[in-house]
Amino acid sequence: MEQIAEKISPKKLGPTLADIVFLVFLAGVLVSVTLLGRLAFEEGMKTERSKENGEAWVKWMSENSAERFKDGFKPAACSGGPSVAGALEREKKELTKVAKLAAKKDGTEDEPVTLPEIPIGTWGECFKALTAKGGPLSELTNAFSLEPLTLVAKCDPADLSTAGGYLLEKNVNTPAGSSIPSVTSTLVNTDLIVEKINVRVTICDKGAYPTKIADFDF
């Protein structure tokens, strides 16, 4: 009986080579799944931060839609309506004051003060004021590239450099009876903003596909 039991019982206990290979393979799979999950989470968070950037533009522009038509609104370059003329005059006075102080400091106060041209009433100048150092939207960065947030002509899946960028468009109503109620086009630097306009903010996700944030009046 002892000889029979000895033949049946395995002489060597513990994992075999095949068991070890399987365990190593399983550990590799678990590590890969964990890394892929973390990567997907991080990419998802970048897309969410991109949406927050778009929401920041919507928040500022929609909240100031009415305020920018009042006297004293700043930045003056984003003023609209009758307040534009007053804003321009105040801007010139402030620039003159700064220029005179600088001239006094440099010892050139006897020289005539030359002011830069202040083109107010176009989207290009408003955009510069909003994104310039110290501007209300100057701190926003691209969640994917970590570079300063920039406008793009369009979200293009064939060009992943547009991922995390954003697009500002204007919606213009078509005449009554038209087959389409409105036409949407890119908001360009020369577009006038002295009157209220309807704006659409779109961000480009990680695949550079467009994600609409909101339509609103500015």
The residue that leads in pLDDT, 118 or 132, is 132
pLDDT at res. 198:
94
Q: Give Dmax (Cα) for the chain.
A: 121
Q: Which of 189, 181, 184 is nearest to 199 (CA)?
A: 184
pLDDT at res. 28:
72
Weakest-pLDDT range from 15-19, 49-53, 182-186? 15-19
pLDDT digits (tens, 9 = 90+) for 187-202: 998 898 988 999 999 9
Domain boundaries, the chain: 46-217
pLDDT at res. 39:
64
Weakest-pLDDT range from 75-84, 127-136, 157-166? 75-84
pTM: 0.65
Q: Which of 72, 73, 82, 70 is nearest to 194 (CA)?
A: 82
3 state SS for 2-59: HHHHHHHCCCCCCCCHHHHHHHHHHHHHHHHHHHHHHHHHHHHHHHHHHHHHHHHHHH
Task: Calculate the CA 21 to chain-centre distance.
Answer: 48
pLDDT digits (tens, 9 = 90+) for 7-32: 555 555 677 777 677 677 767 777 66
- The H or E element containing residue 211 is strand 210-217
